[in-house]
Amino acid sequence: MKFLRYLFFCVLALTAVNAFAQSSAELKRKRDKLNEELQQLNDEYQETAKNKKTTLKQLNILKAQISLREEKINGLNTEVRLLGNQINENTNNVHSLQSQLDQLKKEYAAMIVFAYHNQSAYNKLMFVFASQDFNQAYKRLTYLQQFGTYRQRQAESIQGTQHELKVKINQLDRTKDEQNNLLKDQEKEKQTLGKEKNSQLEVISDLSKHQGELKQQLRDAQQQKAKIESQIRVAIRREVEEARRKAEAEARAAAARAAAERARANAANPGSAPKEAPVAAKASTNSELLNATPEFAKLSNDFLGNKGRLPWPVANGVITQEFGLTYIEGIKTDNPGVDIRTSAGAAVRAIFSGEVTSVNNISGTYLVVVRHGEYFTAYANLKSVSVSKGEKIGIKQNLGTVATDGATGETQVHFELYKGQNAVNPKLWLASQ
C-alpha cells in the first residue's frame, strides 16, 4: 500500500509538472508573439510620427498597441501566478526531501551504532550458534546478510536524496529568478502602457482641433466600407435567389410528376374518387435554402463546428478596428467586420474551404466573397486576386495580396463574416493568436 501511495504521488506530481510546462510554454509563445506584433506596431507608429500632421492612422496604431500591451500584461500576470504556484510546490518538495534526508541520516546513524557494537566476528558467530535449531540459525545468518545490504541501500538513499534536494533547490532558485524578471518586465510594460495612453490622449487632442479633417477621413472610410458591404449583400442575395429558384424548379417538377401520376391512377380506375393534389409546401427560409444540398449542409455544419478555431485571413496581423459601433471623439462609426493590419504584400487566405461567389473591383481594390454553405466570408482591400468566381477553394488557400494605401502607407485587410444575410463578429470565430 505504501508503494502504491508513493506511485500515485509520483504520477500526480509528474502530471502537475507536465501541465505547468505546457501552460508555461504556451504563455511564453504568446508573449513572444505579442512582442513581435508590438515591435511592428511601434516601427509603424514611429514612421507615421515623422509626419507633422496627425492622422487617424496614428490613433488606430496607438489603440492597437494599448490593446496588445494590456493583453501582454494579463499574460505576465498569469505567468507570475503560475511561477508562484511552482515556487510553493518546489518549496514544499524541498522541505519534504529535507525531512526524508534527516530521517534517513537518523536511521543510518542508529545502524552504524548497532554495527559498531556488534562488529566482532566472534559476536556474530555466537549470535548464529546460539540458535535453538538449524532453521533459526539460517534465519539469523540471513538477517545479518540482509542487515549489511540494507545499510548499504540506506547510504545510497541518503546520497540520492541529497542529490535530489540539491536539484530542487537549484530549480527553486531559477524559478524565483524567472519570477523576479517577469515582475520587472511587468512593471516596465505598465510604464510603457501609461506612456502610450498619454500619447493617445495627445493624438486625440490634436485630432479634435481638426474635426473637419477627421470627419472627412471617417466619412471616406465609411463610404468605402458601405460599398464593400453593399457588394457582399448583393452576392449573398444572389446566392439565396439562385437557391430559391432551384428549389422552386424542383418543386414544380415534383408537382408535375405528381399530377401525371394522379392522371394515370384516375384513368386506370375511372369509377374511384379522384386523388387530390398535395398541399403546396411552405416557402423555405434562407437558411434552409442555403443548406438545401447535402454538400452545403455538411459545409455549414463543419464551419460552425470550427467556431473559435478558424485561421486568420492573414498569417500575421493585428486588429486595428473592432466589429460593431465605435466612437472616435464623439463621431460614430459602424464596422460590419474587422480591420486587420498586416505587412506590405502579405498573402490573404481563405479561412475555410468553400466556393468563390464573387470577385469585384471596388475603387481600385478587390473584394472576394466565399461561400461556406449558409456562411459567407468577405476579404476586401486586395491589391490582386488569384481566384475566380465559381472556383472551389480549400482552407488557407491564397486569394490574393493585400493592398497598401499610398497616401497613409497603411496596409490592412478588411474582413467580414455572415451567417446568411446577417453580419456576425469575425473575432469570435477566429483562433486566438
290 lies in a domain? no
- Specify the CATH number for the domain of residue 313: 2.70.70.10
Could you give the dihedral angle defined by the CA atoms of residues 249, 255, 261 and 262, in that order, rounded to the nearest 10 degrees?
-160
Label residue 279 by pLDDT band (50, 70, 90).
very low
For residues 10 and 130, state if they share a domain: yes
Domain of 406 in residue numbering reads as: 212-240+306-428
Q: What are 339's strand-pairing partners?
A: 321, 414
Q: Which of 204, 227, 259 is the last residue of a domain?
A: 204
Q: Supply the pLDDT for residue 241.
A: 87
CA distance 382 to 366: 5
- Classified as helix, coil or strand, 134 is helix
Tens of pLDDT, residue by residue over 102-127, are 776 776 666 666 655 555 444 555 55
Asked, for residue 70, whether it belongs to a domain, the answer is: yes
Which residues neighbour 5 within 8 Å (Cβ) at sequence distance 6 or greater?
A: none
Q: Are residues 176 and 218 in the same domain?
A: no
Q: Are 161 and 104 in contact (CB under 8 A)?
A: yes
Phi-psi region of 111 (alpha: psi -120 to 50; beta: other; left: phi over 0): alpha
Across 94-103, 141-150, 170-179, 332-341, least confident range:
141-150
Domain tally for the chain? 2
Mean pLDDT lowest for which of 121-135, 180-194, 252-266? 121-135
- Give the residue, 87 or 54, on which the prediction is more confident: 87
* Residue 127 resides in a domain: yes
Is 0.85 surpassed by the pTM of this model?
no
In tens, the pLDDT along 150-198 reads 666 666 667 777 777 777 777 777 777 777 877 788 788 888 878 777 8
**Percent of the chain predicted with pLDDT > 70:** 70
**Do both 228 and 134 map to the same domain?**
no
Examine the domain organization and report whether 146 and 221 are in the same domain: no
225, 126: one domain: no
200 with 224, same domain: the answer is no
Task: Compute the average pLDDT of residues 51-58.
Answer: 61
144 and 224 both lie in a single domain: no
Angle at 25 between CA 13 and CA 36, to 5 degrees: 165
Same domain as 150, residue 196: yes
pLDDT recorded at residue 122: 42
- Predicted confidence band at 255 (pLDDT cuts at 50, 70, 90)? confident
Q: Indicate the length of the chain as a whole number.
A: 433
For residue range 60-89, list pLDDT tens digits in order.
777 777 888 888 888 878 887 877 777 777
CATH code for position 27: 1.10.287
Looking at per-residue pLDDT, the higher value among 408 and 361 belongs to: 361
Average pLDDT over all residues of the chain: 76
**pLDDT recorded at residue 148:** 59
Is residue 299 a part of any domain in this protein? no
Q: Is residue 233 part of a domain?
A: yes
Classify residue 169: in a domain, yes or no. yes
Per-residue CA distances from 181 to 38, 76, 238 (Å): 20, 11, 58
Q: Do residues 40 and 149 both lie within one domain? A: yes
Residue of 353 and 290 predicted with greater confidence = 353
Q: Under a CB-based contact definition with an 8 Å cutoff, are residues 430 and 337 in contact?
A: no
| Residue 20 in domain | yes
Give the pLDDT of residue 198: 80
The reply to whether 31 and 74 lie within a common domain is yes
Mean pLDDT of 91-105: 73
223 and 102: one domain?
no
| Nearest residue to 114 (alpha-carbon basis) of 100, 127, 102, 101 | 127
Closest CA to 421 of 380, 378, 376: 376
Q: Note whether 371 and 411 are same-domain residues.
A: yes
What percentage of the chain has pLDDT greater than the value 90?
22
